[in-house]
Structure 1
Amino acid sequence: MDFRGKKYERGSNWSDPEVVELLQLWADEAVQVELESCLRNQHVFNRIAEVLREKGIHRTGDQCREKIKKMKLEYRRLKDNAKAARGGRGWKFFDVMDRVLNSRPALPYALGGGVMAQQVLQGAMVESYHHRRHQFAASALPFGHAQHPELMEIKCEEVNSDEHCLTPEPPAALSYQQGSPEEREMERAFLERAQDDSPISRVEVPIETSVSPSGFSESNMASSSRMQNVVPRPGFSALHRLRKKRKGQRVKDPLDDLLLKTLTSQRAMEERFLQMEERRFQRDLDVEERRMQLEQRRFELEREHEYRMFNVFAQMLSILKQSHSGSSSSIAMPRGLDFNQALSEMTGLGGGDLQELRARPLAERRVDMHGFCHPGDFQRSPYLSARGNVVNIFRGSTEEGYKAYHADKYDEDKNPNGIINFGTSENKLCFDLMSKRLKEQLTQTDMNLMEPPLLQYPDWKGHMFLREEVARFLTYYCKAPAPLKAENVIVLNGCGSLFSALATVLCDPGEAVLIATPFYGGITRSVFLYGNVKLVYAYLDSKITGTSTRPFQLTVEKLEKALQDAHAEGITVRALILLNPQNPLGDIYSLSELRDYLEFAKRHELHVIVDEIYMLSVFDESATFHSVLGMDRLPDPQRTHVMWGISKDFAVSGIRFGTLYTENQDVANAVASLCYFHGVCGPVQHKVAQLLRDRDWINQVYLRANHARLKAAHTYVTDELKTLGVPFLNRNAGFFVWIDFRKYLRTGTFEEEMLLWRRFLDNKVLLSCGKAFECSEPGWFRIIFADKTHRLQLGMQRIRKVLEEREQEILAEEKEQPCQSDQDGKADSTDEVIFVSRHQEPTCSGSSNLGDLIGLLQQQMRSSDWLQKNTAEQFAQEKPEIYDVFSKLVGKQ
């Protein structure tokens, strides 16, 4: 392999034999003289490399030169450090380098100042090397003299195999240069002065042809010795002292330090300036982005306000048109809507649908409009279907408040000014018990069981081991007269999925289910938005009339009336939904009431969907819960379906698990087919089964602590409400209290109720307004009390602040504008209602609604600066064409 054209590689390693051969060639006195005499001496190392290649050592001249430089650096470092190598051991080549570098021959100069290299090199070899184009015989050397015997005494010692080099290779910037051109000129002048005292004569030495195994002949060694004796070097020591003196006289210039400091500080200042510029640029970007966000928010608020104003004007015009046409009758029961009707009512598009909407009663339209979406979101997307547009813009107060809460959650340490959530029905009192129990179960082998069936597709009704455990659990806590069967149990991921699945399999699109209001608003999403099934409302009110014995009492008469009105409208009702305990009222139905409801459903061949998700959250011993599954005989067992889940009773709303018990196998199989979309994963089914199996812990530890904490929190909230003089329903089940804030409304409208709800939200407390539960009376709110004491205290303080400010505003307005007092209704004497002293009749006449709308319009005009911002002159400048048309119309009138 030819290495002559190969570039030098800094990472090449030299073995000890190779280094010995290199030193033998480099230490030759003739080589040293030639190296000292030439500024450009690369050809010397090239000749050394050629000799090494003849001996089987393939190195280039650059590699030889670099190796010698490294060894010189290592020698000087060790010499400065008192000959102590790394690890305290000596360097094997130190003595050789020391003898060579300290014993270099003096340079003989001719009278003309030139170096007489031919006097040192052997004549024949020099002639052969220089005049025969550098061609050598196998037994000849390229140099004139061999090294002295004492210089070849290289001491070798064993070293670790991994230590190829005692010191790391120096960087290129540290490569050693043998003197500068100025120093060489001074040395040459010094030697010229020394030549006058010690003339040098040429010495001719014959060349022997015998070659030693190492490549050096004895004659060469002898001639080298004779040459050393013949050639005197009187000026070498003086030259050496001159060099040492010159090196010692070099003083570091202080201007260099000053220049270095100046450049360093300048660079630091430039970097600092760049950093400041970057921060300023980023700050400007943040300010601009914030300004754009505020501008966008202001624009959205203005548009929302305009939508509200247009909505009020549209309702006023509709009322006036109805009053002129003589159609003043209205029906209190709202019809359900299909998606096309709902979208037409929201957007106001479509000629025939719009005429049909205007012909419908006002109360029905208002309930549907507020139940479906926010008035400011009436924007139809061309990429969605009619149903997709309804789902997209459906946004009640519950979703709006829940979104705001998640964006600004209260945290005692991180966000003390965040929103306190009294609107989402969650039990936050028993997280410690459940987390501790789950951790204990995680350490048990049965809880960590992970068999292949749990990781595969199960029976869509649920794993049999879980269904059997659910059947035993419901048999025990529902007090069933006979053991419930596991084949009648279906497992889904929550009761919301159960509502949508049952509505899908029991009703055709456009048909309806009957439900009493107020009710949990999530049912609307599950039944209407998902299943395209209408909801027919049986309105309950706070006034005790007829056969009622308590406010918001559900009676068979109210169910009969709602069903008859639906049939009169041509709506087919397929099922009845019962909530027991009732959300948001907290009512617990007695056995006689349950039997009456089931008998009513049987007479009309209605399916009954009973939601008992709060059955273990009855926290007062004086109240008794009766499950439908605990009845001795069901009037129509094939049409009776019971739901329950663990999210409320076990304070684990994040674990989506719900179960359905039905004896109708057709319904069970149909719902099981939809479990493909709503199934529960295998590991969760296994853990829930283990949790439900532990009856001792549930009865002795969890339920006792849960009921005690719920009762204490309920007592605290109700005592605060009594202090404020706020009426409420006193119930003993669930996590909520139904509160009457009607006296804090300026007018008895749902718009005013929404303004009060937003007032609470602006003061960082989230409640649920009555409209979210389709309550027929504006002003009722639901508050969740199943929370920690410090959050309850802070939340009630914020509620008190809003109510006091609201009361002062209403009193100030009453002083300015006297108004008629509300008519007092029948006084309630029952112990179940606290501080309920007056009841407002739901208004349905056209004149009353018109008065409410006019009052609302006046209030919004007083509280808004819209008229100041949007003057006639400004409108004429912005939209002159529309202004001209409007002016012409006004002129015609």
Structure 2
Amino acid sequence: MAGSSGQSGRQRFWRKRKGREPLNDLISQMLLAQRATEERFLQMEERRMEQEQEAEERRMRLEERRLQLDRQHELRMFTIFAQMLGMIRQGGGGDAAPPTDTNFPQEGDTVGKGVADKVQESTMGDVYNCSPYCSPYLSTRGNILSGFRGSSEEGYRAYHEDKYDEDKNPNGIINFGTSENKLCFDLMSKRLTQSDMNVIEPPLLQYPDWKGHTFLREEVARFLTYYCKSPSPLNPENVVILNGCGSLFSALAAVLCDPGDAILIATPFYGGITQSIFLYSGIKLVYVHLESKVTSPGTRPFQLTVSKLEYALQTAKEEGASVKAMILINPHNPLGDIYSAAEMMEFLEFAKRNSLHVIVDEIYMLSVFDESATFHSVLSLDKLPDPQRTHVMWGISKDFAVSGVRFGTLYSQNQDVCNGVASLCYFHGVCGPIQYKIAQLMRDRDWINQVYLRVNHSRLRAAQTYVADELRAIGVPFLNRGAGFFIWIDFRKYLRAPTFEEEVSLWRDFLDNKVLLSCGKAFECSEPGWFRIIFSDKTHRLQLGMQRIRKVLERREKELQMEERNPEEEDGKADSTDEVIYVSSHHEPSNSNLSDLILQLQNQMRSSDWLQRNTAENFAQQNPEVFQVYSKFVGKQ
């Protein structure tokens, strides 16, 4: 019975289990379906959120694009308005002002090609290296400022990212492009840290007269009276102090000109002037393009004459430009020219005839190292043709090798101009302790004359001689002046074509080989292929930098020799090899080709490196005509 009962229980258990299995399967399927449904729902929800996010991003992009289009439309309307206003003003009379636009001459423009009428949308001309920029957050002027790039910015930025250091970065970039005197840091650091310089008094920590502390303006007046050889003591009330000559250019442009007015300047010229007068005031420059070829009545390459000024001014007026001022740089950057007193007087008389203000930049006046050269400051002239429109600027950055100490001074007999510039000194002031140091430096005339200037001029002469000899050794033409820190070099024969694109290509070759130069376009030179090199540097950097330059030129020369050039390209190429320019300080180039050849040979033979590379036999084979001329000359000695 027991066995029968146990068997019956097992049967009942299995029947119940079989009855539950379909139910379990059903529940399992329901759970699986529910999970699949939930997962599908989550996927749909995630997709919906992604679509909403994409829609929001698309909406934001469309909104940003709409704002950009609105800004572009505003810029176009501004351009049209400027043109209309210009036509209205021009129709109102001969003395009306030109359009109040912010355009500038394009590459290749001359004074006769739309100086006042060319207007661009949201950008200036290519000549100012300004890239199009359109931000919905900026004003029209803000967009132009944001898109502005100085002519030397790219190279300067590359240099600071990879600066040469003899120990830490020997393969870095050597800077021959920035006009700084690096020869006298030892003298200046010693003088500026002496005990008489380290004074901190309450007035130096308070707001000064915005024109500058009285004690400094008095010392500047005495300093300029002495070093500019003024026939009578200069008045401290005519002195205004700002933080650098760049600020002075900017302030004078704002005070002397209205938006849309123009200033006359000869090219090539220091490119920093462009941004100095543009960034705040939007003032245009009218170019007087000078050429390397000597033409009558000139007697030297790139010579400025009154006839060239008159032609440029007249052409600009015919184009509708309102020229209010003229800039003169003496000693000149980058040419190194020193204008004679007679030349300066002619320029000033031209300005008076045309009611032009004259801004005279004399920032290199104490950096004339050629003992045979004489610098004549405008302040040394007995009687200025138009003293109320003549304004002289000077600073310590060049002459005292302290470009990082921002100090510039204006001297003008026009009190209205002084007051106008002084109003902007609120934004461009010099701190009190620095003003005190500068005053102490200026009054230490014994140290300046007996120590600093003697050593500085000696070092500048030695550095300039070294670089000039190196250029002669490789047969590169250049202008050899006796002022400033630079040599103006003719690299035209190393261009594949006479274009500014090729000039930039050569500039990049130098930069890729870790030496920074300044190309002619940065100075608005009208002839492609001219470069400025700064020689005011230590010997080891000059030697290494010149080695790198030589390497680039030798490689370029080989490439040009290997390239097949057609006759048309040859005809258009600058003939710099036939017009070698070795110009001493005040000696004009000879008109005789024979004399030029002899001078070139003599300069080359003075170089031991040239003698090592060229035996008489090799030279005779490579240059039979030159060797024959030289042999005949030697036979006559």
- TM-score, L = length of structure 2: 0.72
CA contact (8 A) 2:133 2:144 kept: no
Q: How many angstroms does 1:379 deviate by?
A: 3.7
- Counterparts of 1:831-870 in structure 2, within 5 Å, are 832=587
- Among 119, 128, 133, the alignment partner of 1:372 is 128
Q: How many angstroms does 1:511 deviate by?
A: 0.2
* Residue in 1 that maps onto 2:455: 705
Structure-2 change in CA distance of 1:634 and 1:360 (3 Å) = closer
Q: Aligned AA for 1:721? A: L
Instruction: Show structure 1 runs of 5+ residues with no match.
Output: 1-335, 347-358, 839-893
* Residue in 2 that maps onto 1:381: 135
* Residue in 2 that maps onto 1:420: 174
* Residue in 1 that maps onto 2:147: 393
Q: Aligned AA for 1:435? A: S
User: 1:244-267: CA deviations, max 9, x gaps?
Assistant: xxxxxxxxxxxxxxxxxxxxxxxx
Q: How many angstroms does 1:774 deviate by?
A: 0.5
- Among 746, 765, 770, the alignment partner of 2:520 is 770
* Residue in 2 that maps onto 1:610: 360
CA contact (8 A) 1:728 1:737 kept: yes
- Counterparts of 1:241-252 in structure 2, within 5 Å, are none
Q: Aligned AA for 1:568? A: E
Instruction: Show structure 2 runs of 5+ residues with no match.
Output: 1-97, 108-112, 594-637
Q: Does 1:537 align with 2:293?
A: no
Q: How many angstroms does 1:450 deviate by?
A: 2.0
Query: Whole-Å Cα distance in 1 between the matches of residues 520 and 212 of structure 2?
Result: 37
Q: How many angstroms does 1:342 deviate by?
A: 5.9
Q: How many angstroms does 1:835 deviate by?
A: 10
Structure-2 change in CA distance of 1:504 and 1:604 (3 Å) = same
Query: Whole-Å Cα distance in 2 between the matches of residues 538 and 341 of structure 1?
Result: 18
Q: How many angstroms does 1:438 deviate by?
A: 1.4
RMSD over aligned Cα atoms: 2.7
- Among 542, 559, 574, the alignment partner of 1:809 is 559
* Residue in 2 that maps onto 1:655: 405
Structure-2 change in CA distance of 1:530 and 1:491 (3 Å) = same
SS in 1 for 2:426: helix
User: 1:101-140: CA deviations, max 9, x gaps?
Assistant: xxxxxxxxxxxxxxxxxxxxxxxxxxxxxxxxxxxxxxxx
Q: Aligned AA for 1:391? A: L
User: 1:315-366: CA deviations, max 9, x gaps?
Assistant: xxxxxxxxxxxxxxxxxxxxx99655469x89xxxxxxxxxxxx969xx999
* Residue in 2 that maps onto 1:494: 244
* Residue in 1 that maps onto 2:157: 403
* Residue in 1 that maps onto 2:418: 668
- Counterparts of 1:435-834 in structure 2, within 5 Å, are 435-439=189-193, 441=194, 443-444=195-196, 447-814=197-564, 819-821=569-571, 822=573, 832=587
Q: How many angstroms does 1:465 deviate by?
A: 0.5
Query: Whole-Å Cα distance in 1 between the matches of residues 549 and 588 of structure 2?
Result: 21
Q: How many angstroms does 1:810 deviate by?
A: 1.0
Q: How many angstroms does 1:381 deviate by?
A: 2.2
* Residue in 1 that maps onto 2:52: none
User: 1:267-296: CA deviations, max 9, x gaps?
Assistant: xxxxxxxxxxxxxxxxxxxxxxxxxxxxxx
CA contact (8 A) 2:535 2:542 kept: yes
Q: How many angstroms does 1:530 deviate by?
A: 1.9
* Residue in 2 that maps onto 1:59: none
Query: Whole-Å Cα distance in 1 between the matches of residues 384 and 410 of structure 2?
Result: 16
* Residue in 1 that maps onto 2:62: none
Aligned pair count? Answer: 484
User: 1:426-467: CA deviations, max 9, x gaps?
Assistant: 00000000011112x2x23xx333222111111111111000
Query: Whole-Å Cα distance in 2 between the matches of residues 606 and 514 of structure 1?
Result: 9
CA contact (8 A) 1:468 1:486 kept: yes
Structure-2 change in CA distance of 1:488 and 1:396 (3 Å) = closer
Query: Whole-Å Cα distance in 1 between the matches of residues 512 and 125 of structure 2?
Result: 24
Q: Aligned AA for 1:370? A: D
User: 1:572-601: CA deviations, max 9, x gaps?
Assistant: 111110000000000000000000000000
SS in 2 for 1:549: coil
CA contact (8 A) 1:397 1:769 kept: no
SS in 1 for 2:563: helix
CA contact (8 A) 1:339 1:390 kept: no
Q: How many angstroms does 1:818 deviate by?
A: 8.4
CA contact (8 A) 1:495 1:657 kept: yes
Structure-2 change in CA distance of 1:642 and 1:340 (3 Å) = closer
- Counterparts of 1:326-345 in structure 2, within 5 Å, are 341=103
Query: Whole-Å Cα distance in 1 between the matches of residues 141 and 432 of structure 2?
Result: 33
Query: Whole-Å Cα distance in 1 between the matches of residues 190 and 436 of structure 2?
Result: 18
CA contact (8 A) 2:101 2:119 kept: no
Q: Aligned AA for 1:395? A: R
Query: Whole-Å Cα distance in 2 between the matches of residues 503 and 544 of structure 1?
Result: 32
Q: How many angstroms does 1:561 deviate by?
A: 0.6
CA contact (8 A) 1:500 1:527 kept: yes
SS in 1 for 2:427: helix
Counting aligned pairs with the same residue, the percent is 72
Query: Whole-Å Cα distance in 1 between the matches of residues 352 and 568 of structure 2?
Result: 53
Query: Whole-Å Cα distance in 2 between the matches of residues 777 and 655 of structure 1?
Result: 34
CA contact (8 A) 2:500 2:528 kept: yes
Q: Aligned AA for 2:481? A: R
SS in 2 for 1:811: helix
- Counterparts of 1:41-80 in structure 2, within 5 Å, are none
Structure-2 change in CA distance of 1:824 and 1:427 (3 Å) = closer
Q: How many angstroms does 1:396 deviate by?
A: 4.0
Query: Whole-Å Cα distance in 2 between the matches of residues 818 and 510 of structure 1?
Result: 41
* RCO comparison, higher one (Cα < 8 Å, 6+): 2
CA contact (8 A) 1:728 1:833 kept: no
CA contact (8 A) 1:728 1:835 kept: no
Query: Whole-Å Cα distance in 1 between the matches of residues 591 and 479 of structure 2?
Result: 8
User: 1:796-836: CA deviations, max 9, x gaps?
Assistant: 00000000111111111136988534475995896547799
Q: How many angstroms does 1:737 deviate by?
A: 0.2
CA contact (8 A) 1:371 1:396 kept: no
CA contact (8 A) 2:101 2:260 kept: no
Query: Whole-Å Cα distance in 1 between the matches of residues 229 and 104 of structure 2?
Result: 43
Q: How many angstroms does 1:837 deviate by?
A: 10
Structure-2 change in CA distance of 1:503 and 1:370 (3 Å) = same
SS in 2 for 1:721: helix
Where has structure 1 moved over 6 Å in runs of 4 or more? 364-368, 815-818, 833-838
SS in 2 for 1:718: helix
CA contact (8 A) 2:368 2:484 kept: yes
SS in 1 for 2:348: helix
CA contact (8 A) 2:150 2:272 kept: no
